[in-house]
Every structure is written in structure tokens, then in C-alpha cells.
Chain A
Amino acid sequence: MAHSYTPGLRVTGNALLRRERRLPLQGDVLVSLGETVAPDTIVARTELPGNVQTVNLAAKLSSDPAKVATCLTTPIGSPVRKGDIIASVKSMFGLMTTTAEAPCDGVLESISTVTGQLIVREPPIPVEVEAYLQGVVVDVLPEEGVIIEAQGAFLQGIFGLGGETFGRIVVAVHAPDQELMPQDLKVEHRGCVVIGGAYVRYETLQRAREVGVAAIIVGGFDDADLKRLIGRDLGVAITGSEEIGFTLVLTEGFGHIPMAQRTWRLLGANAGRIASVSGATQIRAGVLRPEIVIPGDPGTAPAADASEGDLDVGSWVRVIRQPWFGRIGQVTSMPSALQMLETEAMVRVLTIRFADDAAEATVPRANIERIAD
């Protein structure tokens, strides 16, 4: 078998992308079909029902739950302010009055005659959805949201932190194998998407937070620094909601790994443009990888996506596990028979000639990913 299919991360100069921007529940769509939007255009808005608080009126008023509804001084459905008297009962031949207050601003929603429990609903929580991409509204989902279409460069990272953001691309190092240092981050990088090289460490990320950069794109960083950054060991790769002050995208993985040439060149060629970046990562069924989208000139036909598909002799690949983790080379053969590894496992392999020293190596097919030529 000469062919093999191996998924890789997409890195392409011209892709046609669609992103669904949907409210968590029904609301108002604020833009119309064909409208051009910026990343921060609010495209839909709604209000989430407020949180609920409970008041045990029966206990508070020392009253029978079945009769507690008669003690309400404000009818069900009425708006209340925190501290308002909402129920009262007289005792000791009318000499004593016991009252209950609203625990929060909201509306009295219901009262139970079985438990004597009053439900107070807090004010609705406004939710807005931004366009995220600079593009055009190509579909309107009535009362739910829109689909935005954008054309331009599209790069997937392998792991990210933080949510959606956008900013102008600035390349802050000279080479893809260079470490991004604290002094590389300048005040004028505030709100920018900063491209580093192979590696970033915690001190530089702290500097990024001080400067107020929108995002850092870099080859790799250390897990020990990830722990310092988010304050815990990350157990499962579900990210995107971290509040670390910026969005971080790793293009290669954990450790000091030079950014792939194609990624580096593509980002460099787009310096000065506005990029939308998301750090959200979810590595389980329905894999979600972090992404960088750089809308380009409309009208250019999207390029064929060279980063995934058939793997064959001559394909460029990256090794994604020890002992050659991170090294790049070209496939020289793809034997069909299973071969025994040092571990004694019998697996399908391929041979690679590394780009840097022309050395040959045999690698399990599971341990490579296809990269663009």
C-alpha cells in the first residue's frame, strides 16, 4: 500500500472560511445578509434568563407552607429590589410582625405550597455575539445568529489558551528558531498579535500581559510554565475560557520547537494585517484546534489545501514523538509490511530523510504528521 492518510494541521495562504456565530438561545440578529462586518461587530444579542435564588419563606415566617402564599406582600410576577419586604406575617395577637426580604434584584417567580419555598429570578443576563472574523454575512439564522464568510490565510495551532481576540500582526523575532524574549515586547505591541519563534517562557508571557498584547503565536513552551500561567496542572485539553490577559497559540507543541517554515513565512508575509485568533482547544471527538485567520483580498481563489490528505513518497512530514520529536523531513519509502520497533511492537512505518542533516530514520506512521511542501 503506497498511500496513507494522515491528518495534519491546516496552514494555508488562502482559504474560504465560514464561521457560525450563534446565540446560546433565541434572540435578535443585528446584521443582515450581505453585510460586511469587522471582528468586533456585534452580530446578535439576547438575554439569558437570570439566575435563581430561593427563599424558604415557610421557615423564615414560621408559617405553614400551604398558607405561605397568603403572606406575600408582593404578588408573584412582580419585580423586586434587593432588601424589599416581600412577605410578612403577624403573630402574638397581631403584636409581632415577621417579614422576609428579597435576596436580590429580580422578579418573584413562583412559590411552592408544599415546601414553602419562594423562587426569585435575578435580572436577565445580556449576551452578545461578535462577528470574530472580518468578512461578509452569508447566511442569517433567524433569531439565532449568522454565518460569516471570510477569505484569507488560515493557520491551525496545536494547542492554545484564552478565547477569541483580534489584532494587527507583528513579528517580534528574526527567525523561527529564536526564543521570544521579554525585551522583544514593546509598548506599541499593545492590542497586537505578536509572532514569536520557537519558544516563550513564563517571564515573557508576564511581560505580554503587562504590555497588553492581544495574542502570542509561538512554536512551543513548557508545561511547567503552563502550570504557573493558569495556576494548576491542566488535566484535560479543553481550553478557551482561561483569563490570562491574552490568547496564546502554540503552533508546534510543548518544549523548544522551531516554528514550521511555512507557518513562519505565512505569518511574516501577513505582518501588519488584522488577524482573528482563538486559543480554544478541545482534543476529543470533534477536535477543536486553536486558529489564526487573516482575511485577505476578496476575489482570490482559495488555494488547494496542502497540509492534509494522502501521504506518499516525497511528502513532507514532521515527527511528533520521541526520539525525533519536532524534526522535519521527506518520506523516502512506505513499506507495506509491519515492522518491529525497538519496543517490539509490530507497526506500520515509513522512512524519512531529515531536511537538516539528510540522515534517514524509520518512524511509525502514527508518529508523523503531514506538513505542506
Chain B
Amino acid sequence: MKVIPDDIRSILATDCGSTTTKAVLIEKGPDGYRLVTRGEAPTTVEAPFEDVTRGVLNAVREVEELRGRKLLDGDRILSPQMGEEGVDLYLSTSSAGGGLQMMVSGLVKQMTGESAQRAALGAGAIVMDVMALNDGRKPYEKIRRLRQLRPDMILLSGGTDGGDTKRVIEMAELLAAADPKARLGAGYELPVIFAGNHDAQQVIRDTLGSRTALSVVDNLRPKLEQENLSPARDAIHDLFMEHVMAHAPGYKKLMSWSPVPIMPTPGAVGLIIEKVAQRDAMAVVGVDIGGATTDVFSVFAADSKGESATETVFNRTVSANLGMSYSVSNVMAEAGIENILRWVPFGVDEAELRNRIKNKMIRPTTIPQTLEDLVIEQAICREALRLSFEQHKALAVGLKGKQKQRDISEVLDQSSAGGTLVDVMALGLLVGSGGVLSHAPRRAQAMLMMIDAFLPEGVTELAVDSIFMTPQLGVLSTVHAEAATQVFERDCLVLLGACVAPVGAGRVGHACVQVQVAGAAPVSVPFGELRLLVLPANGRVALTITPERGFDVGAGKGKPLMRDVRGGVVGLVVDTRGRQPFVLPQDAAVRIDKLRAWNRALGLYAKEV
């Protein structure tokens, strides 16, 4: 069914998460499209229900009750809208059952292996393993791994077009020998995409065609200096629908309800982040911190690589085991307990903290009741975000899917150095979502958590997703960009304000930067402080920022910068705690004093902790 945007009066969109299915109802009013209500219910992919539509119907039923409007006819969504009943459009995203889990392989881990990984991540997958000829594993170890993991799909790449085919075929032979099984049910063939050397296509068909559901697409690395991810990403989306979703419990029925293909949740969020970056012509980082995983999305201009300033590079990474409930213990394991404690402005017994974190892991739905507990949870969040961003920087080194050129020296540079595309100074907007950020009791808490974790430099705007509806808006944007944009702006995105952070090091208390918000007196902020200045809640305002010698806010060391920023509900945070390096005091008493002073400066908590 073709969607005609002008005919759409109401939209029902669901996101089937691994634990909760969220439904939003959007209606067209005199001032355009607005979110009118939302509902949620536990996801029902697993036993005893094993039918995702049960959870969808329950969530929609809640929307129905809250809105006082009939949307269901028994176990069916009423569509199109007739009078006040039903909706004109229903669509859905899904990460239920662990989302799309893929294994990718390339010849050289840092080259085709990395490209394959970017293609899979960009399509919204969790990459379980990257296999390559030079990954240090012996063939039998690779085969064992292939048999152990039960991915939803495998992306096989390798070789440039016209190059040697033997090594690519060798990987396919290993795959055939392993005869891996698909995750959902043994009754269907494992989808495999080949996006490698086109000269090897026929042999790959001969080797894998009879054993797997093989799709052959254009090479994702046709030349060493050229990356072409779109065909592989499109094939992933198609196979996700045709094979994975079709075999997940209840999805066949769910797919029949919507004229729009079901999208993997992170793929839909990525679409919105890309669109925001395009519309505002700025570099954007989005982060979604969940209970089990944390996704980071970024769009940066590629001009620093000598390419056109209008070209942008989109990247998405998922930190599969960094999150605030199921994975909270892994944050502690990866960050180290001392890194969590450095954000806590009071003494905590380490053994007690370890037990608290484990108790959160085994009872993941609990919430902090005391202020101290909230502070500890927010400290963990800072570390989860920091680690996720580090992982993102390490992989956000690729080119966008469409064909682009770069020379061999750049290719080698990217592979060895990594992180070259994430330029924190160029970052224009940082968007956070996920319970710990969206539901922080004070918005300033969300703002400081993001500032501490991402350490933005120069001038950066910050926002949070009020109720985490970006996935639904992402899939909506594919068929109705206007409605998606309107709801995103008015009901989804909460602008917090901006952060001014001079890059450089200094001595605490010495002059660092002067900031003037248009219409107000200039304010000098010495080194080592956080200061909150008032911004209008709406509209734009001009800033004049004059850093001291040795400090850079984006125009060069000691050079003043004029910049317009959007207002926000928190205001303008002037952060002179230093960048490159950002260092917290080593001495515990000094550190605690500092943390308390910074918390006071931002009015972070109702009382001192």
C-alpha cells in the first residue's frame, strides 16, 4: 500500500523493545501533527506468549483508554480512520528478542572487516564477531566460533573487485564447513550476504548457495580507497524482514498490519539523527542508553578529511553490554570501580557498592529511592556513556555508504589511528535518550551527565528525547517526513541549552574565559569551575566568548568567537574544568569538595549530597 502523506490524519506507531513495547498516537490538528498520547506494555516475544502482537495490542489498548478513542477491532488495528475510530497509518520498529544479531567477515580486519562492521552497524545490527584472515585465530577456532554463535545473519565481504579471489573463497569454505545455524528456529536457512570481490561471486554461489539463504550484492569495498556500504545495508534490511522477522514469533502478523516495513530500532533512530544533522547543517551525536545496550550515532562533516564541506559521515555503534540495568555490572567491570567512584561526592564502601550494583543487575527494574542512590546511578551512567563514546570514536572512522574517494594514505591512517572523524570541537548538538537521561528528576542532571561523559569542546547545544520516541519517528520519517519533523521538534526533543568549554589547561582560579549572552553583562569564569548562565527557554541568542591566551573555544587559541545558540530549559553551562586534558583532583577530599561545588553551581540536586 502506498502512503499518501496528505491523506494521513492519524498515525499509530509502536516500538517493540526487548522488554517493553511502546505505542504513540499522533494526530493532525490545526497546528500540524502532534503527539497526543502514549502507552506501553511488556513485550511478548518470549514464552509463554511467543507472539509480539500481544504486547503491541496491550500497548495500543492503553493508548485507546487514555485517548478515549477506538483503535482496535478485537485483535486488529482499525485502519484507515473512519470518523473518530481507527488510524490512517500504523508502523513499527523492533529490537525485541535481542534485535538483529550479525556476524561479519572480511579479509583484513582493519579494512574489509571494518567496512563490513560499519555496514552491519549502520543497518541497526549488533555485531557479535568480526572474522578476518588476520584476526589471529586458527581456521578450526573460527569454525568453532561460527558454530557456537547463532547469528541472525552473516555478512561476508573481502577483496577488492578484480583482486585475488582465493582468500575470499577460503572464508566461504570455512563458513560452509561450519554449517552455522540461524538463531530463531532450526527450520530455515541462515541468511548470508556476500558483498566482496565480484570475481568471486560465482564460486561463492557454488560454495554457499545450497547451504544458506545467499544474497549476492555489490562489493562494499570495490577499491581499497572506496567504500560502498549501501547495497549491503539494503540487503541486510531486506533479509531482516524476509527471514529474521518472518521467523520471530508473531512478526508475520505484525508485518501484515503495516504498509511500511518494520525497521530495526537503532536503524530508525539513526535516520532521525541524520535528518537533524542535515536540516541544521551541524555535527550531531545521539546516544541512547538502555538497560542492556547503549547506541551512539554521529554525523560529522567530512571537510577535515579534505572532502567537500557539505559531505557528511554517518556512523552508528552499539555497545552491546553497556547499560543501566541488565548490563550495569558490566559497566563496573569495564570502567573499573574507581572510575565510577570519581563522580561520587561522598565516601562509599567499595564492597557495599559492588553488592548494590549486582543487586541492580539481578533486579533490573528497581529505581533509586534515596538521593545518594541516584547520585551513584548517575555516576555509573557517566561511565557507561564515556565507554560507549570511546568505542564509537574507535569505529567512527568510515565513509558514508555512497561512493567516495580517498587516497591510500588516508585509508592507512584511518586503520591505524581510528577516531579521526569524531571532532568534538565541531560537535554542534548532543542528543541523549534512555531512561536515566530522559527521566532524570532535574534536566540539569541529564545535561551534566552528558557533559562529563562526552566532554564537548567549544560551543555545543544539548538536548534530550523526552519520552524516547525517536525510533517511531525514524520509521515515520521514511513515509511522512513532515509529520516526523513536526512531532520531533514539538513533542520529542527537549532542548537543555548549551555548553561552552574552552580547550586547554590552566591553574585553578586563574582567568580562563569571558562569556557574554546578548543583552546581559559579560561574565568572567576562572579555570576549574562550572557556571550556569541564563538562556531564554525558546528562540536563539547570540554569545560572545573571549577565551584567555592558551584556551580555544573553536576560533583558535585566545581568539574570540561569536555564536548563536538555541535557548533551553537548563541554560548555558560554562565549563572551565579543562579539556585535553580533563582531570579530576586525585585527592579524595579535594575531589569531593569540587564535585559538591559544581553540583551547587548547576543546582543539580535538592540538597547537598
Q: Could you tell me if B362 and A283 are in contact, using CB atoms closer than 8 angstroms? A: yes
Q: Could you tell me if A320 and B359 are in contact, using CB atoms closer than 8 angstroms? A: yes
Interface string of A268-292 (1 = CB under 8 A from B): 0000000000000101111000000
Q: Could you tell me if B369 and A112 are in contact, using CB atoms closer than 8 angstroms? A: no
Q: Could you tell me if A52 and B355 are in contact, using CB atoms closer than 8 angstroms? A: no
Q: Could you tell me if A343 and B369 are in contact, using CB atoms closer than 8 angstroms? A: yes
B281 vs chain A, min Cβ distance (A): 37
**Residues of A close to B292: CB separation below 8 A:** 284
Q: Determine if B298 is an interface residue (Cβ-Cβ < 8 Å).
A: no
CB-based nearest A residue for B292: A284
**Residues of A close to B358: CB separation below 8 A:** 159, 223, 226, 234, 253-254
Q: Could you tell me if B354 and A235 are in contact, using CB atoms closer than 8 angstroms? A: no
**Contacts A234-B333, A286-B46 known; A366 to B366 CB distance under 8 Å?**
yes
Q: Could you tell me if A158 and B363 are in contact, using CB atoms closer than 8 angstroms? A: yes
Binds B, one of A68-76, A114-122, A177-185, A188-196: A114-122
Q: Report the number of A-B residue pairs with Cβ-Cβ less than 8 Å.
A: 160
Q: Which of A210-244 contact B (CB under 8 A)?
A: 222-224, 226, 232-237
Q: Could you tell me if A285 and B140 are in contact, using CB atoms closer than 8 angstroms? A: no
Q: Could you tell me if B356 and A322 are in contact, using CB atoms closer than 8 angstroms? A: yes
Q: Which of B172-218 contact A (CB under 8 A)?
A: 173-174, 177-179, 186, 203
Q: Could you tell me if A223 and B18 are in contact, using CB atoms closer than 8 angstroms? A: no
Q: Could you tell me if B139 and A112 are in contact, using CB atoms closer than 8 angstroms? A: no
Q: Determine if A321 is an interface residue (Cβ-Cβ < 8 Å).
A: yes
Q: Determine if A39 is an interface residue (Cβ-Cβ < 8 Å).
A: no
State which of B43, B186, B203, B366 has its C-beta within 8 Å of the C-beta of A285.
B43
Tell me, in angstroms, the Cα distance from A281 to B361 when the chains sit together. Answer: 12
**Contacts A52-B177, A53-B140, A283-B362 known; A344 to B333 CB distance under 8 Å?**
no
Q: Determine if A347 is an interface residue (Cβ-Cβ < 8 Å).
A: yes
**Residues of A close to B327: CB separation below 8 A:** 235-236
Q: Could you tell me if B441 and A236 are in contact, using CB atoms closer than 8 angstroms? A: no
**Residues of A close to B363: CB separation below 8 A:** 158, 253, 320-321, 369
Tell me, in angstroms, the Cα distance from A115 to B177 when the chains sit together. Answer: 14
CB-based nearest A residue for B350: A224
Q: Could you tell me if A233 and B329 are in contact, using CB atoms closer than 8 angstroms? A: yes
Q: Determine if A54 is an interface residue (Cβ-Cβ < 8 Å).
A: yes
State which of A223, A286, A321 has its C-beta within 8 Å of the C-beta of B367.
A321
B559 vs chain A, min Cβ distance (A): 41
Interface string of A314-334 (1 = CB under 8 A from B): 000000111101000000000
A203 vs chain B, min Cβ distance (A): 16
Tell me, in angstroms, the Cα distance from A66 to B179 when the chains sit together. Answer: 24
**Residues of B close to A366: CB separation below 8 A:** 365-367
**Residues of A close to B442: CB separation below 8 A:** 344
Q: Which of A23-79 contact B (CB under 8 A)?
A: 25, 49, 51-54, 65
**Residues of B close to A51: CB separation below 8 A:** 140, 143-144
Tell me, in angstroms, the Cα distance from A223 to B362 when the chains sit together. Answer: 12
Q: Determine if B330 is an interface residue (Cβ-Cβ < 8 Å).
A: yes
Q: Determine if A100 is an interface residue (Cβ-Cβ < 8 Å).
A: no
Tell me, in angstroms, the Cα distance from A234 to B355 when the chains sit together. Answer: 12
Tell me, in angstroms, the Cα distance from A112 to B203 when the chains sit together. Answer: 11
Q: Determine if A255 is an interface residue (Cβ-Cβ < 8 Å).
A: yes
**Contacts A285-B97, A285-B98 known; A52 to B143 CB distance under 8 Å?**
yes
Q: Could you tell me if B43 and A233 are in contact, using CB atoms closer than 8 angstroms? A: no
**Contacts A342-B371, A367-B369 known; A236 to B326 CB distance under 8 Å?**
yes
Binds A, one of B162-170, B303-311, B401-409: B162-170
Q: Could you tell me if B203 and A114 are in contact, using CB atoms closer than 8 angstroms? A: yes
Q: Could you tell me if A255 and B355 are in contact, using CB atoms closer than 8 angstroms? A: yes
Q: Determine if B357 is an interface residue (Cβ-Cβ < 8 Å).
A: yes
Tell me, in angstroms, the Cα distance from A283 to B362 when the chains sit together. Answer: 7
Q: Determine if B4 is an interface residue (Cβ-Cβ < 8 Å).
A: no
Q: Could you tell me if A283 and B203 are in contact, using CB atoms closer than 8 angstroms? A: no
State which of B45, B143, B166, B369 has its C-beta within 8 Å of the C-beta of A114.
B166
CB-based nearest A residue for B360: A321
CB-based nearest A residue for B143: A52
A227 vs chain B, min Cβ distance (A): 8
Q: Could you tell me if B369 and A115 are in contact, using CB atoms closer than 8 angstroms? A: no
**Residues of A close to B170: CB separation below 8 A:** 112, 115, 117
Q: Determine if B368 is an interface residue (Cβ-Cβ < 8 Å).
A: yes
Tell me, in angstroms, the Cα distance from A223 to B352 when the chains sit together. Answer: 9
Tell me, in angstroms, the Cα distance from A251 to B370 when the chains sit together. Answer: 25
Q: Could you tell me if A322 and B370 are in contact, using CB atoms closer than 8 angstroms? A: yes
**Residues of B close to A237: CB separation below 8 A:** 326, 329, 361-362
A330 vs chain B, min Cβ distance (A): 19
State which of B43, B166, B357 has its C-beta within 8 Å of the C-beta of A115.
B166
Q: Could you tell me if A286 and B47 are in contact, using CB atoms closer than 8 angstroms? A: yes
Q: Determine if B96 is an interface residue (Cβ-Cβ < 8 Å).
A: yes
Q: Could you tell me if B173 and A367 are in contact, using CB atoms closer than 8 angstroms? A: no
Q: Which of B312-369 contact A (CB under 8 A)?
A: 321, 326-327, 329-330, 332-334, 351-352, 354-369
**Residues of A close to B247: CB separation below 8 A:** none
**Residues of B close to A304: CB separation below 8 A:** none
Tell me, in angstroms, the Cα distance from A159 to B363 when the chains sit together. Answer: 10
Q: Which of B125-174 contact A (CB under 8 A)?
A: 139-140, 143-144, 165-166, 169-170, 173-174
Q: Could you tell me if A367 and B332 are in contact, using CB atoms closer than 8 angstroms? A: no
Q: Could you tell me if B362 and A235 are in contact, using CB atoms closer than 8 angstroms? A: no
State which of A53, A253, A367 has its C-beta within 8 Å of the C-beta of B362.
A253
Q: Determine if B425 is an interface residue (Cβ-Cβ < 8 Å).
A: no
Q: Could you tell me if B330 and A114 are in contact, using CB atoms closer than 8 angstroms? A: no
Q: Determine if A95 is an interface residue (Cβ-Cβ < 8 Å).
A: no
Tell me, in angstroms, the Cα distance from A254 to B360 when the chains sit together. Answer: 10
Q: Determine if A143 is an interface residue (Cβ-Cβ < 8 Å).
A: no
Q: Could you tell me if A323 and B370 are in contact, using CB atoms closer than 8 angstroms? A: yes
B98 vs chain A, min Cβ distance (A): 7
Q: Determine if A341 is an interface residue (Cβ-Cβ < 8 Å).
A: yes
Tell me, in angstroms, the Cα distance from A233 to B177 when the chains sit together. Answer: 35
**Residues of A close to B321: CB separation below 8 A:** 235-236
Tell me, in angstroms, the Cα distance from A163 to B410 when the chains sit together. Answer: 51
Q: Could you tell me if B357 and A344 are in contact, using CB atoms closer than 8 angstroms? A: no
Q: Determine if B1 is an interface residue (Cβ-Cβ < 8 Å).
A: no
Q: Could you tell me if B367 and A347 are in contact, using CB atoms closer than 8 angstroms? A: yes
**Residues of A close to B330: CB separation below 8 A:** 235-236
**Contacts A321-B363, A325-B359, A343-B441 known; A112 to B374 CB distance under 8 Å?**
no
**Residues of B close to A363: CB separation below 8 A:** 369
Q: Could you tell me if B333 and A284 are in contact, using CB atoms closer than 8 angstroms? A: no
Q: Which of B353-393 contact A (CB under 8 A)?
A: 354-374
Q: Could you tell me if B140 and A52 are in contact, using CB atoms closer than 8 angstroms? A: yes
B570 vs chain A, min Cβ distance (A): 15
Q: Could you tell me if B333 and A320 are in contact, using CB atoms closer than 8 angstroms? A: no
B19 vs chain A, min Cβ distance (A): 6
Q: Determine if A364 is an interface residue (Cβ-Cβ < 8 Å).
A: yes
Q: Could you tell me if B45 and A115 are in contact, using CB atoms closer than 8 angstroms? A: no
B602 vs chain A, min Cβ distance (A): 14
**Residues of A close to B165: CB separation below 8 A:** 114
What 6 A-B pairs come out closest when comparing CB atoms? A235-B330, A233-B333, A344-B441, A286-B46, A223-B354, A254-B355
30 contacts between A and B (CB under 8 A): A52-B139, A54-B143, A110-B177, A115-B170, A119-B173, A222-B351, A223-B354, A223-B355, A223-B357, A223-B358, A235-B330, A236-B329, A237-B326, A254-B356, A254-B359, A283-B326, A285-B19, A285-B97, A321-B366, A321-B367, A322-B368, A322-B370, A322-B372, A342-B369, A342-B371, A343-B374, A347-B367, A364-B367, A364-B369, A367-B369
With A65-B166, A284-B326, A341-B369 given, name 8 new contacts (CB 8 A).
A52-B177, A114-B165, A114-B169, A119-B177, A235-B333, A254-B354, A343-B369, A343-B370
- Contact residues of A with B, CB < 8 Å? 25, 49, 51-54, 65, 109-110, 112, 114-115, 117, 119, 158-159, 222-224, 226, 232-237, 253-255, 281, 283-286, 320-323, 325, 341-345, 347, 363-364, 366-367, 369
